[in-house]
Structure 1
């Protein structure tokens, strides 16, 4: 009798164990399915903190209403966001203009594409140790971004300000450096500096030509604080875009992102927040 009871108990324990194992497998499958669904409805975008990440965050509620969760990953340089996108860590990024994107693809054999045109930020020449353009002395130091497309942009602005002259043929699509200066009547010392360092350089240089996003991060407004801003026609060449991997531009995620970012809600946020230092292009 005792042997029969023991056998029955052993059988029951086996059934319980099997049921438990089966239950765990089903729960795990359900969990995996949930994670998969979450991933399909989560859009991860890399961005510069200002204004790009701020603009993205203004679109979060619009995306939420469409069933998507927006994750914003902030970067403080101009290299890592594209590397992370190429490596599949992001669905898209938002920090660059088309000339910079084209230059990245050329130098890195990349295949990133502009998916959504968003805004432009006027470049400005900002006062450092020298307060006005009229006071620029012989041998004055001027800091400019050291990456190809943005240095071109800075040099064109210095030319518009009458401080230098570039060789013929230099335009916003060129990849110019200070070696392309053909006239420098005041023997200006043009210092090429990483774009993110430009606002900090103001205490050490006479003038600095600063990218719009880094100016904003330093509480500088091109419209209010700069000595001169670039030609609006040039500025629109440098429209900032949402970039993605080639082939993803028609994906549901990117289309949802486009609809949210180009909504009236986000456009109003841009206009009210940046007051001309960031200009929506849609």
Structure 2
């Protein structure tokens, strides 16, 4: 990671698409559960649950959508959300460390594989010498992007650096590529001017890109630690509403919805 702090993002200035007055906090089965999410795929998955499964399960679900990666966690910590769905566990842990929050994962829901996109080449091996490659600028996703590039030999990284890799950990760069970190939400708007960009799945989908069809390099699901999780404030893991939502999110119906809707661009996590 570059620094222990997560950089402020443009989306923090762009407020949530629909903020609620406050979450209902820990409560019984009959209370409303307010869940924050980025629009795609988390918001769509939650909307499916709300429209098709929640009522029968006795769950009163309200969805609040955000366009950045920081506000959903600060809103959860402050109590205006009861839970959120949009992030992987490495990001959540880093956020807790840097922001002094106390958030925990409840269950894994799906894998949104990160991909490399380009309007200039069809294969990362064909990038021009000196080309600019854009990567997300938040600490965990930057390392994730560098690992993806290294998996195809585009760059080399220090042995054992893992998901905490930074540009300073690059040990070989045969084509002398310029690695440029950028706010994740800006990547789909900027990648056409660069040699390539490593784009988070949700922002790719929001921009009309198909990770399965359009990415010139896509993460493998095998051994991938970046499954997105339903998260809550510590102490709320056993809230009956949260447990109910967790069961619905890992149900066969949601698995089928993800498979039918995203056709390999988002991968459901098997229920345990």
Please confirm whether the aligned pair reaches a TM-score higher than 0.5, indicating the same fold. Answer: yes
SS in 2 for 1:99: helix
- In the alignment, the residues of structure 1 paired with residue 119 and residue 91 of structure 2 have an alpha-carbon distance, to the nearest angstrom, of 26
Q: Which residue of 1 aligns with 2:183?
A: 194
Q: Which residue of 2 aligns with 1:183?
A: 172
Q: Which residue of 2 aligns with 1:27?
A: none
Q: Which residue of 2 aligns with 1:72?
A: 63
2:123 and 2:217 in contact (8 A); partners too: no
Q: Which residue of 1 aligns with 2:266?
A: 278
Q: Which runs of 5+ in 2 are unaligned?
A: 1-26
- In the alignment, the residues of structure 2 paired with residue 257 and residue 39 of structure 1 have an alpha-carbon distance, to the nearest angstrom, of 11
* Coordinate RMSD, CA, aligned: 1.6
Q: Which runs of 5+ in 1 are unaligned?
A: 1-36
- In the alignment, the residues of structure 2 paired with residue 245 and residue 75 of structure 1 have an alpha-carbon distance, to the nearest angstrom, of 18
CA deviation vs aligned residue, 1:126-173 (integer Å, no higher than 9, x gap): 11334432431111000000011111110011111211001111213x
Q: Which residue of 1 aligns with 2:104?
A: 113
- In the alignment, the residues of structure 1 paired with residue 85 and residue 74 of structure 2 have an alpha-carbon distance, to the nearest angstrom, of 13
Could you state the TM-score of these two structures normalised by the residue count of structure 1?
A: 0.82
Equivalent residues, number: 243
2:32 and 2:62 in contact (8 A); partners too: yes
Q: Which residue of 1 aligns with 2:41?
A: 51
- In the alignment, the residues of structure 1 paired with residue 157 and residue 29 of structure 2 have an alpha-carbon distance, to the nearest angstrom, of 50
2:250 aligned with 1:262: yes
2:255 and 2:269 in contact (8 A); partners too: no
2:229 aligned with 1:238: no
**Structure with bigger gyration radius:** 1
Q: Which residue of 2 aligns with 1:126?
A: 117
Could you state the TM-score of these two structures normalised by the residue count of structure 2?
A: 0.85
Q: Which residue of 2 aligns with 1:14?
A: none
1:43 and 1:91 in contact (8 A); partners too: yes
Greater mean alpha carbon deviation, residues 262-271 or residues 94-103: 262-271
Structure with the larger helix share: 1
